[in-house]
Amino acid sequence: MILVTGGAGFIGSNFVLDWRAAHPGEAVVNLDALTYAGNRENLAALDGDTGHVFVQGDITDRALVDRLLAEHRPRAIVHFAAESHVDRSIHGPGAFMKTNIDGTFTLLEAARGYWATLGEPEKAAFRFLHVSTDEVYGSLGPQDPPFAETNPYEPNSPYSASKAASDHLVRAWHHTYGLPVLTTNCSNNYGPFHFPEKLIPLMIVNALAGKPLPVYGDGMQIRDWLYVKDHCSAIRRVLEGGRVGETYNVGGWNEKPNIEIVQRICALLDELRPSPEGSYTRLITYVKDRPGHDRRYAIDARKIERELGWRPAETFETGIRKTVQWYLDNAAWAQRVQSGAYRDWVQKQYAA
């Protein structure tokens, strides 16, 4: 079996659902603290599945992690758990340092202790896969080549700095202790179960509610977008065939300025759920820019293709259409996650 952390969040829950479908014979222990971003409802399809063991708990709880490893004896840890939203990291960086740095440290130490107790060949086969972000590389100029695995780390936000720190810990635990680690650095994901604080789901739920679509600054910041199921397949591939100690950049070959993303969402909603008040583009509202806003991210994903034969299955066109349709089909889910705490966040971030 494998131990997944953060498997009730956006990417983690997609990963667990896909894993149970792709590997029905291999169980998942899912350790998640159920912060504001974690949601058991994402995993409702696995109710009654004895191959999914959900444990509510914190990755900084060493005794708990030790106990889960001793009890379940996983062959791998796939580490998603993190505080993940840049804007929240600007308002309150403390939780990011605790979960992303201390939490990764705790997992690495627990993994090291457990790994040392394994006999061969379990020891040789064990993997610690750390799920990270392209944001650790900083911001690109318009003419710069996309991020390669060899780019220097230049994180600019409290979020990306905390993820960069966690990547360095993972690297050091391999070089110093020989722990068999793998790291993936992926671009912006989108798809089902995406919490509506991030750009794409926020625009969809706001548009459907007739609320403003807040575009930061001039809307010309560029991100590379990857459909979440493609990220999950890349992680499975790296876990299966990645070279120990290596990092793999994962991306969608799909750079777009934010304003184009918002316009595309409006066009899809105009087609699928037309509003009597006219095109959803009428709701686009330029707002104050994010402090320290990274201008451009782009991923060179040739290494994972060359070494492991992975490429995304979705284009942006197919992926965004599926995503908008998912939010239309799952309006009750989207409604339920917009709790009082969510509304407090929206008020804090967008009041001005």
Contacting residues toward ligand NAD, per CB under 6 A: 5-6, 8-12, 32-35, 37-38, 58-60, 80-84, 99, 103, 131-133, 163, 186, 188-189, 195
Return the range that interacts with ligand TYD (CB under 6 A); candidates 2-10, 42-50, 74-82, 216-224. Answer: 216-224
Nearer to ligand NAD, 99 or 233 (CB): 99
Catalytic residue among 134, 294, 300, 314: 134
Nearer to ligand NAD, 54 or 286 (CB): 54
- Residue 223 contacts ligand TYD per CB under 6 A: yes
Residue 130 Cβ vs ligand TYD, minimum distance, rounded to whole Å? 18
Return the range that interacts with ligand TYD (CB under 6 A); candidates 59-67, 211-219, 267-275, 303-311. Answer: 211-219
350 is catalytic: no
Q: Which does 171 bind (CB under 5 to 8 A by kind): ligand TYD, ligand NAD, none?
A: none
300 is catalytic: no
162 contacts: CB under 8 Å, gap ≥ 6: 83, 89, 93, 96, 97, 100, 101
H or E, element range at 320: helix 316-329
The CA-atom distances, in angstroms, between 197 and each of 88, 165, 200, 348 are 9, 24, 9, 12
Nearer to ligand TYD, 214 or 251 (CB): 214
- Both tokens of 275, joined, read 């509003």
Q: Which does 59 bind (CB under 5 to 8 A by kind): ligand TYD, ligand NAD, none?
A: ligand NAD
Residue 81 Cβ vs ligand NAD, minimum distance, rounded to whole Å? 4
Nearer to ligand TYD, 215 or 337 (CB): 215
The CA-atom distances, in angstroms, between 41 and each of 44, 58, 192 are 5, 19, 12
Task: Using CB under 6 A, pick the residue from 8, 199, 238, 284 that binds ligand TYD.
Answer: 199
- Residue 198 contacts ligand TYD per CB under 6 A: yes
Residue 35 in contact with residue 96, Cβ under 8 Å? no
Residue 290 Cβ vs ligand TYD, minimum distance, rounded to whole Å? 6
- Residue 221 contacts ligand TYD per CB under 6 A: yes
- Residue 296 contacts ligand TYD per CB under 6 A: no
Q: Which does 223 bind (CB under 5 to 8 A by kind): ligand NAD, ligand TYD, none?
A: ligand TYD
- Residue 342 contacts ligand TYD per CB under 6 A: no
DSSP state of 283: G
φ, ψ of residue 189 to 5 degrees: the values are -95, 160
Kind of pairing between the strands at 255-257 and 222-227: antiparallel
Catalytic residue among 114, 159, 248, 297: 159
Residue 132 Cβ vs ligand TYD, minimum distance, rounded to whole Å? 12
Tell me which residue of 250, 248, 282, 272 sits closest to 320, measured CA to CA.
272
Catalytic residue among 32, 58, 83, 135: 135
- Both tokens of 34, joined, read 């159920």
Here the contacts of 118-124 (C-beta below 8 Å, separation 24 or greater) are 122/75, 124/180
280 is catalytic: no
Pure H helices in 4-118: 10-22, 62-72, 86-91, 94-96, 104-117
| Beta-carbon count within 10 A of 335 CB | 11
Residue 187 Cβ vs ligand TYD, minimum distance, rounded to whole Å? 9
Q: Which does 183 bind (CB under 5 to 8 A by kind): ligand NAD, ligand TYD, none?
A: none
Across the strands, what pairs with 299? Answer: 147
Residue in the structure block whose two tokens are 């996650």: 337
Residue type at 269 in one-letter notation: L
